[in-house]
Amino acid sequence: MLNTFIRVSIIYILVLVVMRLMGKSEIGQMQPFELVIAIMIADLAAVPMSDTGIPITSGIIPILALLLFQLIISIINMKSITLRKILCGKPCILIFRGKIDEKALRKEKITVNELQERLRQKNIFSIGDVEYAILETSGELSVIQKPEKRTTIPEDFNIMPDYEGIPYDLVVDGKIMYDNLKQIGKNVKWLKEQVQKFKIEPEEALIVTFDGKGQIFCQKKNSA
């Protein structure tokens, strides 16, 4: 029992590290070659975990080999446009200037009903509202609506909003985020002064954020 637990722990940690090293795209929308490697890693990890008679190295070495293989392919993929097209394919336009491209649908083996379903997932309920629909190499559908159907933006009214930037977490669950404080050019003394305006200390805060407009959001942790 203990032996199985140790083997599972080792393989789990190894696969977790490997997936992190393979990059964030592995966790999101995968390219075809990335999906193949992920499936193979899952199969290789399952064998030594389920069968204690098989040496654990029989799973570790192939997984590390796949990691190396994937990293090499990723580097080549970034440097070679030709290989990128072979491995990842290229985007396919399913709707062009408001008209469905039936040839493209047949090529990608997508029915009109499936296209409608994907559009609904983008909160678009009428094909007539779409100017372009592009099937990305990851399988994700990118949609550009017709000008009269798009959500208005400040630029449409010749309005230039102030720069907002990104919000920074300064305290999370009572723990001060020192790196984020450094990013905004502030220190702990300043943070305490800001949080004390809400009649609490940083250690008592569930969350404290600082946005690009200089506004502080602070919420106290529940006492329970």
Domain ranges of the chain: 2-86, 92-149, 168-220
CATH fold of the domain at 168-220: CRO Repressor (3.30.240)
Q: Tell me the pTM.
A: 0.59
> Can you read off the two tokens belonging to residue 203?
């250690």
CATH number of the 92-149 domain: 3.30.240.20
Which range among 38-47, 142-151, 200-209 has the greatest average pLDDT? Answer: 200-209
DSSP 8-state symbol, 168:
E
Intrachain domains 92-149 and 168-220 with the same fold: yes
Which range among 31-35, 141-145, 151-155 has the greatest average pLDDT? Answer: 141-145
**Whether 133 contacts 139, CB under 8 Å:** no
**Whether 188 contacts 179, CB under 8 Å:** no
